[in-house]
């Protein structure tokens, strides 16, 4: 499942109308790949690298009045709409209410309710078991989010996860649509069962290449197109989960946010 989320920077354009219409207003985007929609969506939201764009369960759930205000605000599309929607779900908004306010397809709204159900299960569990932690990871929850739900530190979640040997594996995306053998497949991390056999292993040294922020695609292109030196192979890990398809110099392409949750 592939999800792309636009990034906005209205704070840099004072006087600009922040309402989202058919006019192009984004300054970039972040792409994420996961085994499910919820996983890819959460990874993409984190990859925006902007305060206030990540789903959270901080503090008490919104009251009935606050939920009503969120539903009213969502009638006008804005860059905060997805997070407001997630908070409205926390406050008990139904799919019918959300659809009436946003006209978003009910399938996507149901996925937001699924995220809330998983978050509640993680929070209410008597202990952070391997099953609960694996469930959270399959739906894209980071160590930070799990820590907030459990009231513990991020380091503790990571230590527990490593103790359970719960680490991401790698999956491949055929960039040639099976027309012929692909030598430059996309690689993305996911908390699945095993790394796919098609994920190639480059020989020799690996130099990780970290791409910059999603609204600076030109910088990323210049970084990725720098020539290899001394015979070293670069295993690319894009800082924000999106690589430029025009690059044919490298054998591997990793699509994953550079977070400790992915270790």
State pLDDT tens for residues 8-19. 998 888 888 999
Tokens matching residue 64: 């009935």
Distance CA 123, CA 101 (A): 28
DSSP code at position 206: B
Predicted pLDDT of residue 261: 60
> Vertex 261, ends 255 and 263: CA angle to 5°?
75
Instruction: Please tell me the predicted confidence (pLDDT) of residue 208.
Output: 53
Is the pLDDT reported for residue 262 higher than 50? yes
Where residue 204 falls (left for φ over 0; alpha for ψ -120 to 50; beta otherwise) is: left
Which tens digit of pLDDT belongs to each residue from 60-118? 999 999 999 999 999 999 999 999 999 999 999 999 999 999 999 999 999 999 999 99
Predicted local distance difference test score (pLDDT) of residue 259: 60
Q: What is the 3-state secondary structure (H, E, C) of 14-64?
A: CCCCCCCCCCCCCCEEEEEECCCHHHHHHHHHHHCCCCCCCCCCCCCCCCH
Look at residue 242 and tell me whether its pLDDT is greater than 50: no
Percent above pLDDT 70 for the chain: 75
- When comparing pLDDT for 152 and 196, which is higher? 152
pLDDT of residue 245 exceeding 50, the answer is no
In the block, tokens 């990871």 appear at: 137
- Which of 168-177, 185-194, 250-259 shows the lowest mean pLDDT across its residues? 250-259
Residue 75: CB partners within 8 Å, gap ≥ 6?
Answer: 101, 102
């Amino acid at each position: 499942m592939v999800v792309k989320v636009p990034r906005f920077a209205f704070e840099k354009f004072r006087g600009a109308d922040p309402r989202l219409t058919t006019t192009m207003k984004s300054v970039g985007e972040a792409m994420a790949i996961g085994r499910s929609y919820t996983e890819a969506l959460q990874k993409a939201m984190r990859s925006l690298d902007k305060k206030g764009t990540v789903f959270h369960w901080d503090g008490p759930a919104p009251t009935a009045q606050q939920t009503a205000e969120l539903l009213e605000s969502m009638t006008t599309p804005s860059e905060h709409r997805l997070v407001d929607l997630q908070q409205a779900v926390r406050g008990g908004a139904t799919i019918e209410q959300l659809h009436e306010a946003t006209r978003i397809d009910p399938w996507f709204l149901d996925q937001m309710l699924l995220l809330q159900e998983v978050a509640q299960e993680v929070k209410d569990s008597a202990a952070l078991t391997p099953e609960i932690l694996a469930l959270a990871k399959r739906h894209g929850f980071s160590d930070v989010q799990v820590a907030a739900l459990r009231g513990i530190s991020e380091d503790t979640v990571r230590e527990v996860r490593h103790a359970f040997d719960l680490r991401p594996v790698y999956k491949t995306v055929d960039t040639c649509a099976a027309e012929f053998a692909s030598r430059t497949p996309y690689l993305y991390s996911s908390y699945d069962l095993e790394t796919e056999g098609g994920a190639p292993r480059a020989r020799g040294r690996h130099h990780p290449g970290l791409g910059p922020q999603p609204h600076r695609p030109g910088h990323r292109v210049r970084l990725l197109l720098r020539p290899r030196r001394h015979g070293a192979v670069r295993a690319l890990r894009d800082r924000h989960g999106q690589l430029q398809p025009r690059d044919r110099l490298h054998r591997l392409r990793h699509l994953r946010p550079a977070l400790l949750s992915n270790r």
